[in-house]
Amino acid sequence: MVENVKELLKLHEGITHQVYLDNENSTIVPQEVVDAMLPYFNQKAYGNPTLTHKPGWEAFEVIMNCFQKISRFVGAKNLEELTFTPGETEANNLAIMGSAFAKKELGKKIVISEIEPINVLHVTDLLKKFGFSTTKIPVDREGFIDLEKLKEAVDNETVLVSVSSVNNELGTIQPIKEAVDIVKAKNPQTLFHTDASDAYGRIPIDVQNLNVDLATVSSYKILGPRGMGAMYLREGINLERILEGQIGTQKLWPGVENTPLIVGFTKASELAFENFEVNIAKMRALRDKLVDGIFSELTDVKFNGPKGDKRSPDNANISILRCEGEALTIELSLKGIYVSSGSACSRRLLQPSHVLVAIGRRFSEAHGSILMKTTRYQTEEDIAYVLEVLPVAVNRIRGIVGSTGTD
């Protein structure tokens, strides 16, 4: 395996133009964010924020400032409503498991959409071992949840509903506020959680306006460092810890706080929100140029998810028929263009994306999908290069498929 990777990397030597569009699965961290983090590794605020000495007090002050800023960006009333975690996965596990265990005396039913991220699907499956059941709400062909089915599913036994604000693969912007109103009308005791990782920094997010009880956000999804995320918990709601250990500045996630990564997450958030409308407009323009170019250059392609204002401004998910997605990602990579095929969480399982299957795509259409996400750091020249290379790669693969008689 290692030798195969070495050989693949050799094939990439000499690439002069690189365009990174796989921002669903990892991101390049901007230099401004790196520069903001570096001093906190060895120059200042490197202490444990719970200890009574200068480095500890410095760390405490820095972390509290970061709490305040992130709280403001998500719309939390105060910094006590926020918990930093090592990432989106951990935040979702804390929100869902912590809610379930805290409310288990009221019921053991959890409701989610059928296109939730893999980490949500897995944690709800895990909770079955503790006697909980999961009901999955279907979606339409654009990925929007069926609100009538949601209303039918919520009952007196429902302790938690979890629906992502923006689907990570399709970019579908869900009607979260309307969904919360439906849930609370059926059962005021039911908690509502939303994974807002793909909404944060892309669409306006205000947990007070949405009236959600819990929300999670991710650092790397907004070009911050990996290994950092946050969970919002509405004041007055009890949650059980899912990990035990030394309690520092936050009661729901034990251990010593990672000051450099918290600073990086906060800096990335500041950069995303300080010119929010300009950033969004640029991502949308680049995304639209990319999509329009693909559809003008290629036949037998399908757009996955909604268009216009109902979709996240950075997201392009396209099924290219008669072209296997994994083969295309390799072909593009050899030209310095990096995209993903389906979901990173499932790509090595040789299974189609559960999200694309849920919206009615055939297996061949799902396997032929590529997911691309634009950022404010890309240029029109980058997109032009992609549109120059991608049709050639697709036609080459289609030619191989045609010559072998397979589809």
Catalytic residues: 345
- By DSSP bridging, strand 229-233 and strand 369-373 are unpaired
303 vs 372: CA distance, rounded Å: 12
For residue 6, CA distances in Å to 9, 11, 241, 336 come to 5, 9, 42, 16
Q: Which amino acid is at 209?
A: N
DSSP assignment of 253-297, as one string? S-S---HHHHHHHHHHHHHHHHTHHHHHHHHHHHHHHHHHHHHHH
How many residues are present in the chain?
407
Q: What are phi and psi of 175, to 5 degrees?
A: -80, 70
342 vs 293: CA distance, rounded Å: 20
127 vs 146: CA distance, rounded Å: 24
Residues 6+ apart with CB under 8 A from 334: 11, 12, 15
For residue 74, CA distances in Å to 132, 245, 394 come to 30, 28, 41
